[in-house]
């Protein structure tokens, strides 16, 4: 699992960097989160249902945090 753990760490760093450099690129954020959730699901052997729930919760957090910070990007998502 060491290789997958390394991939997850790299994905987290790349996602953080992408968000810092392009905070208005919501599409990029969601794509990065999607990849991260898939890697985490594989790492922890989550069922498809659990993976879907994790993805939905992560997306909700991003929208909840992003809407007040970037209302022009997230619109009326809150």
Residue-wise pLDDT tens digits, 8-54:
999 999 988 988 898 888 888 889 989 999 999 999 999 999 999 99
**Does residue 75 register a pLDDT over 80?**
no
Long-range interactions of 39-43: CB distance < 8 A, separation 24+:
39/4, 39/7, 39/8, 39/11, 40/8, 42/4, 43/1, 43/4, 43/5, 43/8
pTM of the predicted protein model: 0.73
**Does residue 59 register a pLDDT over 80?**
yes
**Does residue 1 register a pLDDT over 60?**
no
């Amino acid at each position: 699992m060491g290789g997958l753990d390394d991939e997850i760490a790299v994905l987290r760093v790349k996602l953080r960097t992408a968000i810092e450099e392009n905070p208005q690129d919501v599409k990029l954020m969601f794509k990065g989160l999607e990849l991260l959730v898939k890697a985490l699901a594989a790492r922890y052997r989550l069922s498809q249902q659990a993976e879907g729930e994790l993805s939905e919760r992560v997306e909700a957090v991003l929208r909840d945090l992003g809407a007040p910070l970037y209302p022009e990007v997230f619109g009326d998502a809150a």
